[in-house]
Amino acid sequence: MRENGQVTTTAMDTSTSQIAAVTGVGHTDWVEDYRRVRNGEKPHDSYGYAALAFKRALEDAGISRDEIDGLIVGPTTAYERMGEILNIDPRWGGQADAVQAMFQAVMAIKSGMAEVVALVYGNDQRSAAVQYGGPEAMGGGSFLSYVYHSPWGLTSQGALYALMFQRYKALRGITDRDLGQVAVAQRQWASLNPNAIMQKKPLSLDDYLAVKYVAEPLRVNDYCLINDGGVALIVMEASRARRASDKAVAIHGLGRSDLNHNATSLGPRLMDFYLPAQQGAAGQVYAAAGIGPEDIDALLVYDSFSPHIFFALEGFGYCRPGEAAKFIADNGIGVGGKLPINTHGGHLSESYMQGWSHQVEAVRQVRGGLGGRQVPDCRYVQYVSDVAGKAMSIIYGR
């Protein structure tokens, strides 16, 4: 809940706190995959990328495939087919996006339905020329929120977030320079990340402002990358994880709150910028973890577009509503800033893995040893997502 503009924790069931931990992470070589696809090659399909990431996650966890008794696959692949390819017959499984996959894994472990859950994602979106806008956006299926408005030509997520941020910008007095701080900061982090596609492409604020709008007020550097790749994580029951690995990273809290009422009329997006859902999820996740935003060492935000950062800072209690631009300017979110955000470069500059790569970065920051991009004495990392009015958060920690 929020009192006097600040998030306060609320009483809730904390029984899912620290009952599971991530023991292994793996992913494909996004930089090399990107280069090969640009050259007209197709190294793998979605299943091939996922299988390679899974192999690397097993190696990182130091376990065999036979120990896996739970399987959750990303929505870009079929659950049954992925299980066949990986040769896994789990006693519990399903399909989910990145953040919901982690939620489901924790709940499966809590219920006793599984002890070692593999979360596996692969996507060949670039080489397959997947459209995220236009009349054939994602096949034109009406189940996607951003094609509800296709009769009026509004079919892309970029256009929706441009519309959303345009209103926010007018209400809060935000400038283009304020928005540009996000893309510039995340490119700084990417310059220190060998896995980042944009590692060797510096971006200054002047560079950012020199580019024309794609959908005003968003420029090309406010948009996520589109690239192929795969990600996998191994989530294990906590006591087993402690015995199995000295690199295990605990899941300290989960929080979720959805806004569905008036969703197809864009009400929650345009009127409140998803703030009530974010505040609800914030109260849950902080109560579960027993900490608050002041205790978070690094923040990872689902950033299909740069405005997500502004909404997350306000919704999850890092600053008051309307003060995100000032918070960023005063505190800094890039290298050397007081609140490091998307320390891998995020979707804007590292790789667009639809939130999955953020979970890998959270684990690695807590483990330590990331060189120039390592957050000093990193104890807690928070991940937040507000896609289509589903506000969710995970707190990872030692």
Half-sphere exposure of residue 168, counting CA atoms within 13 Å on the CB side? 30
Res. 103: pLDDT tops 80: yes
Q: Scanning the structure block, which residue is given the tokens 């020329």?
A: 129
Structural domains of the chain, with CATH = 20-129+227-244 (3.40.47.10)
What is the C-alpha separation between 148 and 129, in angstroms, rounded?
22
User: CA-based diameter of the chain, in Å?
Assistant: 57
3-state helix, strand, coil in the chain (%, to 5): 45, 20, 40
Tens digits of residue pLDDT in 219-234: 999 999 999 999 999 9
Indicate the pTM of the whole model.
0.94
Which helix (H) or strand (E) element contains residue 189? helix 176-190
Query: How far is the CA of 279 from the CAs of 171, 286, 307, 326, in angstroms?
Result: 20, 11, 17, 20
What is the C-alpha separation between 74 and 359, in angstroms, rounded?
13
Chain mean position to CA 102: 11
What is the overall mean pLDDT for the chain? 93
Position 10 scores a pLDDT of 46
Number of H helices and E strands in the chain, helices first, is: 14, 13
β-pairing, 390-397 vs 380-385, is antiparallel
Tens digits of residue pLDDT in 71-100: 999 999 999 999 999 999 999 999 999 999
Position 133 scores a pLDDT of 77
Q: Scanning the structure block, which residue is given the tokens 């709940």?
A: 107
* 217 prior amide bond cis, ω within 30: yes
Q: Is 382 helix (H, G, I), strand (E, B) or coil?
A: strand
Q: What is the mean pLDDT of residues 382-389?
A: 92
